[in-house]
Homo-oligomer: A and B are copies of this chain.
Amino acid sequence: VRVRTNQPQVELQNTDKQVSSGTHTHTHQLDVSVGAASYTDSSDDETSPRDKQQKNSKGNGDFCIKNIKQADFGRREIEIAEQEMPALMALRKRAQGEKPLAGAKVVGCTHITAQTAVLMETLSALGAQCRWAACNIYSTQNEVAAALAEGGFSVFAWKGESEDDFWWCIDRCVNVEGWQPNMILDDGGDLTHWIYKKYPNMFKKIKGIVEESVTGVHRLYQLSKAGKLCVPAMNVNDSVTKQKFDNLYCCREAITPTSFLLKRTTDVMFGGKQVVVCGYGEVGKGCCAALKAMGSIVYVTEIDPICALQACMDGFRLVKLNEVIRQVDIVITCTGNKNVVVRENLDRMKNGCIVCNMGHSNTEIDVASLRTPELTWERVRSQVDHVIWPDGKRIVLLAEGRLLNLSCSTVPTFVLSITATTQALALIELYNAPEGRYKQDVYLLPKKMDEYVASLHLPTFDAHLTELTDEQAKYLGLNKNGPFKPNYYR
């Protein structure tokens, strides 16, 4: 299973034959094993969850997870997440009278984290029934899954699924006697794909698809183009609110863990160090900003002229790797590409050069090329190897070229809250829309609902919005309650 960036990937498009290419990470997420998931590490046994008899405390067994005993830990994680997701909590409150999702049968396939749990429990409070699988084989927080199962949700997910497990779990969500979904909430398009492939008749009852990921949205547009999309779909990824906050805040939040990590593993001071960062996408931008702030001299390599120009404008010299490889103190890859740093580059680095990967795949550094007899490997710390050349030169390789293991996520909960709220509203909109409002096409959330998502997040900040006077509304040609910007405004 490859974990990918938001690079377009052609092979994805013929997914019919490629069961193994079915899992995708969320854009921007440096490491999917988030938060305090360490409870499970020591107590894990080796039996596959599929082989276990499972029942929650009320005797319900319609789920498949790692270990129902972790439910209490998971509940605490969910409660902590609730604190940071005020908008969903507000939706729950408003739903006490009306149940806008009464009768909705939602099948979902997303990362299973505390934040998702808050969403699922909100959908439930709004009247929906839910069945859920994971969209990534590694990203499930087992104790959260346990808390959901204990709470009565039919969850099929655990950390470390095999490819076969992955599709089995999805199938268990969908293929159930006496229950048929009428709404899909997808992240990556695998669930949608599975239904298309195995149960196309289900679409007769499905009112709509809400899709979160770049990849999934891409697939939907392709279906639409090909005339094969048979229900309305809502593209949540490109909602204005989400995009604004993604772009503005993800980079900022990424700086801390990036720099902390390098510091912890290597003890180096960054001031004055020469660093080359390969790739100037979201992750690369975050790394470069962090390094610049800490006083490093940063070089960038890029293949895309638009990103390259941004690097230039941001004050980084754009080079080819070989131009600086002899002089740099640190090499960081974050391209999503393969063989970005190869043996030839490694041979030319100077003594003590640190090499690490911050990108999504583990293919960026050709580590295999370092497994040759003339090179000695010496493990000096956890996740830190010295690779020693015959002449005594040492390269400091971090995490054997894999993504460094973070103990915290870099997707701010806030963005997850925005996303989850948008997903909930998109489900409500599609579920309740009068016949004919949406056709078999891909839609963006109406501007006004976008503004509503934002307004639901304001009370957290004790923020007081100003209201237009009648005179001002007239002057600006606006309705006093919004929308305040045209649809094409970004």
Q: Is the CB of B269 within 8 A of A414?
A: yes
Residues of B within 8 A of A412 (CB): 269, 271
Q: In the assembled complex, how far is the CB of residue A319 from the closest CB belonging to chain B, in whole angstroms? A: 5
A206 to B472, CA, bound (A): 40
Among the stretches A40-48, A167-175, A186-194, A256-264, the one at the interface with B is A256-264
Residues of B within 8 A of A269 (CB): 84, 249, 253, 412-414
Chain A residues 351 to 402 lying within 8 A of chain B, measured CB to CB, are: 352, 363, 378, 380-382
Question: Of B245, B268, B323, B327, which contacts A464 at CB under 8 A?
Answer: B323
Task: Produce 1/0 per residue, A325-354, CB < 8 A to B.
Answer: 001000000001111100000000000100
A83 to B393, CA, bound (A): 12
Considering only CB atoms, which chain B residue lies closest to A259 in the complex?
B256
Considering only CB atoms, which chain B residue lies closest to A460 in the complex?
B272
A304: Cβ under 8 A from any B Cβ: yes
A321: Cβ under 8 A from any B Cβ: yes
Interface size on A, residues (CB 8 A): 114
A307 to B463, CA, bound (A): 12
Question: Of B35, B303, B414, B477, which contacts A8 at CB under 8 A?
Answer: B477
A484: Cβ under 8 A from any B Cβ: yes
A454: Cβ under 8 A from any B Cβ: yes
Q: Is the CB of A271 within 8 A of B313?
A: yes
A30: Cβ under 8 A from any B Cβ: no
A379 to B260, CA, bound (A): 26
Residues of B within 8 A of A380 (CB): 76, 80
A80 to B263, CA, bound (A): 13
Chain A residues 265 to 314 lying within 8 A of chain B, measured CB to CB, are: 266-269, 271-272, 292, 294-297, 301-306, 308-314
Interchain residue pairs with CB less than 8 A apart (9): A10-B477, A252-B294, A253-B269, A272-B314, A272-B461, A297-B317, A303-B465, A304-B451, A308-B458
